[in-house]
Amino acid sequence: MRALLVLLLVARVAQADNVTVGLFAPTAPFPSTSARVELANKLGEHVGRALGGGGGGKVFARGGDFAAAIKKGDVKVALVDAAYLAVAGGNYTVIAAAIRGGDASHGWQLIARGSNKLSALRGKRVLVPGIGGRENDLVLNALLGGEVPRDFFSKIETAPDTVSALAALGLGKTDAAIVPTGVELPAGTVVVLKLPSLSGPVLVTYGGITAQQRAAIASSVTSFRGDATVAGFRAADSDAVRTIARRFVVPVKRGPLAIPAIRLLVGDLVEGRKLAIERTPVTAFVAKQR
């Protein structure tokens, strides 16, 4: 009996030592791959200690590889782009949101070389960090709100991550890029449009993590101290992911009774980069008296 208990204890410790925290956050502006690896390992060790053992991290460059690791059960805790989760779905639980610059959500921006007007980018190529699919909907719906035609850009292409998109723009390999704010822009580029905010990476657990373990991780990561890209965490749930998922779909028809007659006019953003408001006269909604 004693030998059996020892074997069970050794197995439990070994399992704790093998905790692997995955990292798939292409939109997060890590300065390099090594910075991603360092953050993932540091977070893995932190989570491992919270579960009573050790741990490490594993960085994924492609959404397909990350999804395969989840399916095989190789990764049960992960730091993942909220936009990826909005596309991929899955059986996960959000327990915390990563903090950058004091906030968990960050604005996006359309940057270009040689022009500061959106109209000049018609028919041009634009690059965006790949989130594992539906990048066209990310750009045209979630960020531009359906205010430009789907064929406005000649092509929406994907980059491995935010830094790669910026590097390609800096080298003249693309006409424009759409990336989160708070990054250093390449020389000779300007911000054409400031775009809405999206949640950054979130910490999630998958199958195989018990409710008790999940609570231990959630409590522990509030004290985690990372780097400039992921400084720490705050408690969160899946609302941020659901919000992004809803923004991937733009209503086909906007009725005056369903949505107020107020909209962001891209034309005005092009010329003055200001918020323009269409005001529908009150009398338009009042029935004529006979």
Model pLDDT for residues 93-110, shown as the tens digit of each residue? 999 999 999 999 999 999
Please state which CATH number belongs to domain 106-198. Answer: 3.40.190.10
Residue 59: predicted pLDDT: 96
Average pLDDT along the chain: 82
Residue 90: predicted pLDDT: 85
Residue with tokens 């009150």: 282
Segment 204-231 shows an average pLDDT of 93
Residue 290, helix vs strand vs coil: coil
Q: How confident is the model at residue 252 (pLDDT cuts 50, 70, 90)?
A: low
Residues of the chain with CATH 3.40.190.10: 2-103+200-245, 106-198
Q: Which two tokens stand for residue 205?
A: 């657990």
Q: Compute CA distances 237 → 3, 203, 217, 221, whole Å.
A: 43, 10, 14, 14
Residue 107, helix vs strand vs coil: strand
- The answer on pLDDT for 152 being more than 50 is yes
- Give CA 45 to chain center in angstroms: 23
Widest distance between CA atoms in the chain = 95
Residues 6+ apart with CB under 8 A from 285: 256
Distance, first Cα to last Cα, the chain = 94
The Cα 128–Cα 107 span in angstroms is 14
Strands 176-180, 125-129: pairing is parallel
The Cα 49–Cα 17 span in angstroms is 9
Domain 2-103+200-245 has CATH 3.30.70.520: no
Which of 241, 226, 204 lies closest to 105 in space, CA to CA?
241
pTM over 0.75: yes
Strands 105-113, 176-180: pairing is antiparallel
- The answer on pLDDT for 273 being more than 80 is no
Residue 119, helix vs strand vs coil: helix
